[in-house]
Amino acid sequence: MRPYNLITIVIIGLLFLATSVFAQSPIDSLKIELVHAREDTAKAKICDLLAFYYQRISPDSGLLYARKTLEYARRAGWIKGQALGYMELSLNYRILSENLAAIHAGDSALKLLEKANEPTVESAILCAQAQNYQAIGNISESSQNYLRAYSIEKQFGTARNAAIILENLGNLFFELKDYEKADSLYAQSMITYRRIQDSAGIASSYGNRARIESAKGNFTGAIAMQKRALEINNRIRNRYSAQINLANIGLAFHEKKDYEEALSYLDSSLRICQAIGNHYNEVINFGNIGAVWHSWSTDPNRRLRKRQARAYRDSSIKYLRLACNELSRNNSRLPFMEFSKILSELLIESGMMKEAVNLMEQRMEAVEALTSEKIELGRERYESQQMMEEKDRALNISKLELAIQRRNEILILLSAMCLLLTAVFCLIYLRKKNEMQKKQLHTISQTHSHQIRGPLCRLIGLSELVNNPKLSKEEKELALKGIDDSAKELDYAITSIIFHSSNS
């Protein structure tokens, strides 16, 4: 091992150990606060934080505190708190690989938020749902949830949360081995982190881009990026992320067959895991260290002496045995299968046949369990697909009902408008007709009044003249003839008035 690297790693380890000794555990602090809390809302907030912290170290305890969050929030009538409780249930269920339960809890949280205006909480739950669907391989639904969350964060949230969602989308494309798209998303998140001066986010982006370099086989570039991330995490004392950086650097050196450097970084990662109580990553580091010792002992380019090779093999067996025992106990089957394969070969080479047989039996049980899990995963995917199809059907029915309702409303509106227009036209028509009739009557009265008055006056005058005894016979006959002519003229005038009035 190179001396200057050893000194650097020892100093880092001592700093983290000192911090762990003097810093009070947030879990212990929160438990003390919970005892003294009086209001149900305050208790719900504390239990929510405890469920969050426990999801990394004890998901079962996380579920317990998530249920307490729900209980206190319901008692207080706090909808946001209930949604947070369901979200913590979802997160802890996913860590326990109970993916359908996680999805159902997430759906319950989102349904609650339909009654409340809490966009940032909705965004967080959508991200959790995206990870749940990602766990069962439903990439389409996962990406849709991420995009919905990103849209909310862009509109109502913070730049940091939007950058985190971009990173998660990058992780999704990384799993699909679309490294170009993943790198583009990581680069976008890095720009945002730099703009808002978020050191933890910058370190995370470096770590993610380092994974892409490793996947492409550029281990030198991956190590350089992981070291930059490690430097930032050390500066801000982010021990959890720092141990991941150290472990990834160690794995990259392992790929480069630089076993001394690989062991030194993995050992530093192991010490930090032990200091912060991260048991799972501690066990994984045991397995990775054992794998490095095994590669070193079997590398033909190293030309080790038999005694030295045997010592390295013994070290490999020791670490792999520790890892496999813990992983088997915790049902962590995938890493168990990886490390137990190496261990079984070493045990057979060392003549430990009984232990090798027992280990092979455990591997067979793990294979059966993994097969069962794959079947269950397929069932979960099918049920998830059925659930999404049911949601789509319900949504389509709702859309159809809404369309029918809107159509009926439009028809009713159009009918009302037609009736109104008809009434208006009728009123206008009747008014115009009335005006025309008045005008015609006025014209008739003006035009025909003299036609009646003329003959009528002559009739009156001639009738008086006939009664005069002084008139001669000829004059009387002439007067009677005038009366007859006036009567005919009056009859014609009246007939004409009647005719014009009826035609109008």
Q: What is the pLDDT of residue 136?
A: 77
List, for residues 59-108, the tens digit of each pLDDT value: 889 999 999 999 999 999 999 999 999 999 999 988 887 888 888 899 99
Which pLDDT belongs to residue 304? 87
CA separation for the pair 364, 187 (Å, rounded): 43
What is the C-alpha to C-alpha distance for residues 444 and 498, in angstroms, rounded to an integer?
Answer: 10
Q: What is the pLDDT of residues 142-172, one digit of tens each?
A: 899 999 999 999 888 889 999 999 999 999 9
Q: CA-CA distance, 439 to 436, in Å (whole number)?
A: 5
225-236 pLDDT, tens digit each:
999 999 999 999
The predicted structure's pLDDT at residue 331: 77
Of 146-150, 240-244, 402-406, 415-419, the one with minimum mean pLDDT is 402-406
Domain assignments of the chain as residue spans, ordered by start:
391-503
Taking the C-alpha atoms of residue 80 and residue 449, their distance in angstroms, rounded to an integer, is: 91
DSSP letter at 277 equals T
**For residue 25, is it left (φ>0), alpha (ψ between -120 and 50) or beta?**
beta
Amino acid at 269: S
Q: Six-digit token pair at 451? A: 């036609």
The single residue listed with the structure tokens 């990394």 is 56
Residue 1 confidence (pLDDT) above 50 = no
Q: Dihedral of CA 470/472/473/479: which sign?
A: negative
- 456 or 415: whose pLDDT is higher? 415
Residue showing tokens 């793990």: 366
Q: What angle do CA 201, 202, 208 make, to 5 degrees?
A: 85
Write out pLDDT tens, residues 114-136: 878 888 889 999 999 998 888 87
Question: Does pLDDT of 17 surpass 60?
Answer: no
How buried is 144 (Cβ within 10 angstroms: 0-12 exposed, 13-18 middle, 19+ buried)? middle
Residue 317 has pLDDT above 70, yes or no: yes
Confidence of residue 18 (pLDDT cuts 50, 70, 90): very low
Mean pLDDT, the chain, whole residue set:
84
Residue 116 per-residue DSSP state: S
| pLDDT on residue 87 | 92
According to the model, what pLDDT value does residue 238 have?
Answer: 92
Residue 243 pLDDT: 95
* Residue 204 burial (10 A CB sphere; 0-12, 13-18, 19+): buried
pLDDT in tens, 301-315: 988 888 999 999 999
